Structure 1
Amino acid sequence: MALMTFDAAIADSENFAKRHLLLGNGFSIACRADIFHYGSLYAQADFSKVPEVQAVFEALGTQDFEAAIRALENAARILPAYVPHGAAAVAVAKMQEHAAALKEILVETIAGNHPNIPPEIADEKFWACRRFLANFLAGPKAGCVFTLNYDLLLYWTLMHDDMPFDDPIALTKNDGFGNDEDDPDADYVVWQGETGAHDAKVHFLHGALHLFDSGSELKKYTWVRKQIPLIEQARQAIAGNAYPLFVAEGTSVQKKAKIRHNAYLYQGFKQFTANVRVGTHCVFIYGHSLAVNDDHILTRIGRGRFPKLYVGIYGDENSADNQRIMQRASALADLRAGAHPLEVAFYDAASANVWGAP
């Protein structure tokens, strides 16, 4: 059976009260396949100068840079109390050196896998993407956009509202962040907590590279306010012990554990769960392979109540990878109880022209 076009899928979805969108890494790959075709920052990191630090990740059972850095720093503080007479000095110095090296590796890996500033992406690409997002963030059918990516392309697109047309596209871009009431002129904004999360329409389910956890609050650094390239923002924040909030763990169980232990991530998770339980809504998936390492999100679709799921398929629908995606989508539908069946439709992802015509 031939795939639907994206426009046909949108027309078909007019029967529903709201449309929601779930984005995967294919959203970013469609923009810049040369740099966004990666699985994780850990997989891309170059540890050749300090190969010993990989043992830290292995000992902790994680791929989370922040966890490894904090473990090294905490061990360096604690060790002298257990190894007296200065015998720990060499080990402490090495742990501190490796913690600092890991911070720089994290910064360099982020920069290597991402455009440095928004102008490195052509305006026409942002304008095309805004037209795509308008199906979900504008008009009477507007719902929410949930992304599993932690890059900045979605955020930059939402901020790129200076379209030089007579009818520019206005998108709802509330993401739950606002001015710091103690410092309203700061060059960052802060998460407004659970109350703000209920009104948010854009959710970074796995965090993002512009969200930094300073311990007391979650800050969102903005290009508009700072005019500082991404690599410098990251370096400054990490130097001040504020780490980018993103889920870098490998398995669904590990990802879910981190989500449950962070208020922002957990609120986004709950908002996704709440929306897929509304029987008058529909959901589109774009750029996601329905891989099992995101089952903590995908199974919520199978346990939801919305009637129809539209899944984007890129390329030959008869390829092994696409057949697997279709089978996974059908398996999600099979999770539904009899009272709330789920219909699955497949559309040609390329026809969405998310970043403009090829």
Structure 2
Amino acid sequence: MWKLSPRPASISWFRSWGTEMGTLLDDLRGMKRMDPDGMLTHCLELPDQIRAGWQWGLDWRLPARWRNLDGICLLGMGGSAIGADLANGFAGGKLARPLRVNRDYRLPGGLHRRTGILISSYSGNTEETLSAAEAALRRGLPAAAITSGGKLAALARRRRLPLVLIPSGLPPRGAVGYGTFVLMGLLRRLKWIPAIPVPSAAAGLERTIARSLAPAVPLRRNPAKQLARRLAGRIPILYGGADGWEGVTFRWRTQLEENAKTVCFHHIFPEATHNEISGWVHPAPGIRRTAAVFLTDPSVHPRTLKRMRFAARIIRREGAGCLEVGMKGPDRFDRMLRMIALGDFLSVYLAFLYRENPTPVVRVEALKKYLRSGR
């Protein structure tokens, strides 16, 4: 389900560009040329990653100490941390113990000897994560690791930490199915979450991708391509509900930023109605170049959905694009998986419209080089 308000007349070039955009997104050879590193392949492989990660998590042998934890703190950054946000959302308030995320060099407060530390770094070389991990190990906290190699794998072997090695050679955001569902499998093994039909949900997601989102599905039947066409030339501002959809909304934002190389922002309802709706006034020319995207779902509190509808009226009245995106179906977990996949494909198709290779993150790599330089 999606809707977009009429495009403002000030973006006159958008209409003439529309035909070209539609042709580009149905040009399989052209898209392949713009994707030499295979980001679309990673999107297509999400169901396989989910199945594999889930089984690895269920089979993970952990020390007895892990059976008596009061909570877990995941140390990670970027695509290696998003799994904890998504897992909290998938659990839908049914987690038996707290699962928190730490995105910093230092450890947060409130950790103690019954707090499990899950160190997550896809490359194994994320300096913030390694710094916090060393601090946790100095305090003797129970720790385990998820990585594809690097310094973290060496640290885990040296300290004899429980370790899951996931396949290497992917960008961290392209391995989200592995990292997220190793964690989900672990939570199920610990009996912190109820039974979830992960294999059948992965099969359903596979069908959805093949029928609706894959590159071979033409624009007229492909919601991800249609959304990319409607967001091209605009700054996306994403809104999600607080009922477990924070992780999905944040995933959309980071995928649009890294893959499509576009500025993007997000906020969560109902909090946004206590501050952000006041800001949709100035600067008027800038507002007309934005598109507010509301990620809605029947599981979100009905009063929150009503607040979203009110905010959408305000935003539309100010001349911004306004778009509602939601999934049909009886199962919330299934809808969340499909929403994640939709955002992933959208970000790649939007990259193509901007003539960008979705995989390289040149500025992130430049930052790492700068940090190593010592200047």
TM-score clears 0.5? no
Instruction: Name the structure with the higher helix share.
Output: 2
